[in-house]
């Protein structure tokens, strides 16, 4: 652990921000989108097909994920192609999966 992380418990604003961050990750639909984007970059309709979510729900959830800096997009013609914001997002997902797998919960 880094010294900054160890001392975070003394800073309520940092703890609130971390709690908000995990709240965003606490939605199954958003996690499904993140898992999907960890494997490939896709447009809204592609994400909807892969996750089984409606395109309108995907669009809404992508807005939340963008605001939390978990995904980003780039325009390709008329389409927006979404991808994970950076490698830390995939690492968080892998860490959570590994933790639950280690405990035999998944």
Angle between helices 55-67 and 44-51 (to 10 degrees): 110
Q: To which residue do tokens 């669009």 refer?
A: 59
Sequence-ordered alpha helix ranges (H) in the chain: 3-6, 12-25, 28-39, 44-51, 55-67, 87-102
* 57, 27 Cβ separation under 8 angstroms: no
Q: How many CB atoms lie within 10 A of CB 58?
A: 26
Q: How far apart are CA 90 and CA 6, in angstroms?
A: 23
Q: How many CB atoms lie within 10 A of CB 82?
A: 24
2-57 pLDDT, tens per residue? 666 656 667 889 889 989 999 999 999 999 999 999 999 999 999 999 999 999 99
66-93 pLDDT, tens per residue? 999 999 999 999 999 999 999 999 999 9
Q: In order of start, what are the domains of the chain with their CATH numbers?
A: 12-102 (1.10.10.10)
Lowest pLDDT segment from 10-14, 35-39, 60-64, 100-104? 10-14
> What pLDDT, on the 0 to 100 scale, is given for residue 11?
82
* 84, 38 Cβ separation under 8 angstroms: yes
């Amino acid at each position: 652990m880094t010294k900054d992380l160890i001392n975070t418990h003394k800073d309520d604003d940092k703890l609130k921000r971390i709690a908000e961050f995990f709240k965003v990750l606490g939605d199954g639909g958003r996690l499904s989108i993140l898992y999907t984007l960890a494997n490939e970059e896709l447009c809204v309709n592609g994400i909807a097909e892969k996750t089984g979510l409606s395109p309108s729900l995907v669009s809404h959830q992508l807005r939340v994920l963008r605001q939390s800096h978990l995904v980003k997009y780039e325009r390709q013609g008329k389409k927006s192609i979404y991808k994970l914001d950076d490698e830390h997002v995939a690492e968080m997902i892998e860490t959570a999966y590994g933790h639950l797998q280690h405990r035999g919960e998944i």
